[in-house]
Amino acid sequence: MRLLVTGAAGFIGSNFVRYWISERPDDHIVAFDALTYAGNEGSLSDIRDRIVFVQGDIGEVGHVEKVLEREDVDTIVNFAAESHNSYAIVNPGVFFRTNVMGTQGLLEAARRAETPRFHHISTCEVYGDLDLETDEIFNEESPYRPKTPYNAAKAGADHAVRAYHETYGVRATITNCANNYGPYQFPEKVVPLFITNALDDKPLPMYASTENRREWIHVLDHCRGIMRVVLDGRIGETYCIGTGVERNIEQIADAVLDALGKPKSLKKIVPDRPSHDRRYVLDWTKIHSELGWEPRIDFDEGLRDTVRWYTEHRNWWESLKGRAPVIEDEAWSTESS
């Protein structure tokens, strides 16, 4: 196969490229990334000689089309997105331009180049949120009810993918995933933020609604699920990739502090961001029954391994800390709001 992986210098994208090469070393991979603040070409440094790297914007249709034709791409896997909820609140336009119009541009390039296969990575957050006390969970048929600019921009991208499939025959699939954690995640996200702050004895900022929960999946389990769908998923279908493993923010903070032997006094309550979602959980029955996928990595073990990775790779993350456009314990002041 000959893949174009967009957002390949980001967290999930770089892990996916590395995983795909390990499983299918004879395939040709073009790693495509705009290298915005959260993109880091260094995340691909250990496999740089095994891929073709192209810097570019997925919304630049002509450029993408030329790359597709030059590299004879037969499969697009689209990770490219702005993805930080807090940043979306202070700069929503960037999210709609990249996530909606960028995805539409990529689809248009795929249509013009007649690329045989298109897979799009989405999120559980397009479905809105769930009450903390309910047993309800989201599945592929759940209605879209996004609450934040990031959620809405990802929902718009999903609709564009379906529209290009139905209208133009683009052979597309979508996966919606739970919250990812693991190596190479930009340190604005909660798990690496907590780890890197704790390593430097800095406060771990926890939103005031500490009981709000997230479902967690290790990035390698997610990559395995995406591969199953790319290779064998039914065209036009959506697959939810989850685990059923839920943790609230304080449980994450405590686990990180325990793993590093740091004091609980580093925990710090900060104001909730606007429209702070309460809970998301996905039903992964469909991908399990159709494609045989299931999560393999235990959360507690995976989190300890992630803590170890950041401890041993300070040279990867230290310079990135200053790039984050939002500081959680300062963002929701009266002036910022």
Distance of CA 213 to the CA centre of its chain: 17
* Assigned token pair, 313: 């790779």
First to last CA, the chain: 48
DSSP state of 112: H
Residue 208 lies in a domain: no
- Smallest CA-to-CA distance from 273 within 186, 181, 188 is with 188
pLDDT at residue 330, as a whole number: 61
Count how many domains the chain has. 1
How far is the CA of 288 from the CAs of 76, 159, 324, in angstroms?
A: 23, 24, 36
- 123 within a domain of the structure (yes/no): yes
Q: Measured between alpha carbons, how far is 146 from 153 in angstroms, rounded to an integer?
A: 9
Exposure of 195 in the CB half-sphere (CA atoms within 13 A): 26
Residue 53 lies inside a defined structural domain of this protein: yes
- The CATH number for 78's domain is 3.40.50.720
Domain extent, residue 167, equals 2-185+216-245+276-299
Confidence of residue 273 (pLDDT cuts 50, 70, 90): confident
Band of residue 147 on the pLDDT scale cut at 50, 70, 90: very high
283 inside domain: yes
pLDDT, average across residues 250-272: 97
Listing DSSP states for 80-101 in one string gives: -----HHHHHH-HHHHIIIIII
Residue 310: pLDDT band with limits 50, 70, 90: very high
Question: How confident is residue 85, by pLDDT bands cut at 50, 70 and 90?
Answer: confident
Q: Give the DSSP H/E element, type plus range, for residue 121.
A: strand 117-123
Q: Which residues contact 162 (CB under 8 A, 6 or more apart)?
A: 172, 174
Does residue 337 surpass a pLDDT of 80? no
DSSP character string of 29-94? EEEEE---TT--GGGGGGGGGGSEEEE--TT-HHHHHHHHHHTT--EEEE------HHHHHH-HHH
Q: Which of 1-10, 202-211, 301-310 bottoms out in mean pLDDT, i.e. has the lowest?
A: 202-211
* Token pair of 109 as six digits: 């390039």
Residue 5: closest CA among 235, 15, 101, 98: 15
Count helices and strands in the chain by DSSP H and E runs: 12, 12
Reported as a single tens digit per residue, the pLDDT across 312-330 is 999 999 999 988 887 766 6
Give the sheet arrangement for strand 179-181, strand by strand: 179-181, 213-218, 246-248
Percentage of residues in the chain with pLDDT exceeding 70? Answer: 97
Q: How confident is the model at residue 331 (pLDDT cuts 50, 70, 90)?
A: low
Token duo for residue 155: 């929902």
User: What percent helix, strand, coil does the chain show, rounded to 5?
Assistant: 45, 20, 35
**Is residue 334 over pLDDT 60?**
no
In a domain, 107, yes or no: yes
Residue 41 lies in a domain: yes
Give me the pLDDT at residue 194, please. Answer: 98
Q: Report residue 42: phi and psi, to 5°.
A: -65, -20
∠ Cα 92 96 100 (to 5°): 160
Average pLDDT in the chain:
95
The pLDDT, as a whole number, for residue 326 is: 77
Q: pLDDT tens digits, residue range 86-100? A: 888 999 999 999 999
Q: Is residue 201 part of a domain?
A: no
**52-55 and 238-241 strand pairing:** unpaired
- Residue type, position 5, single letter: V
In angstroms, the CA 112 to CA 107 distance is 9
pLDDT above 80 (res 275): no
Query: Structure pTM?
Result: 0.95
Q: Sheet harboring 2-6: ordered strands across?
A: 52-55, 28-33, 2-6, 75-78, 117-123, 172-177, 238-241
> Does any domain span residue 160?
yes
Residue with tokens 């990595």: 297
Enter the DSSP assignment of 102: I
Mean pLDDT within 260-280 = 91
Question: How would you classify the pairing of strands 2-6 and 75-78?
Answer: parallel
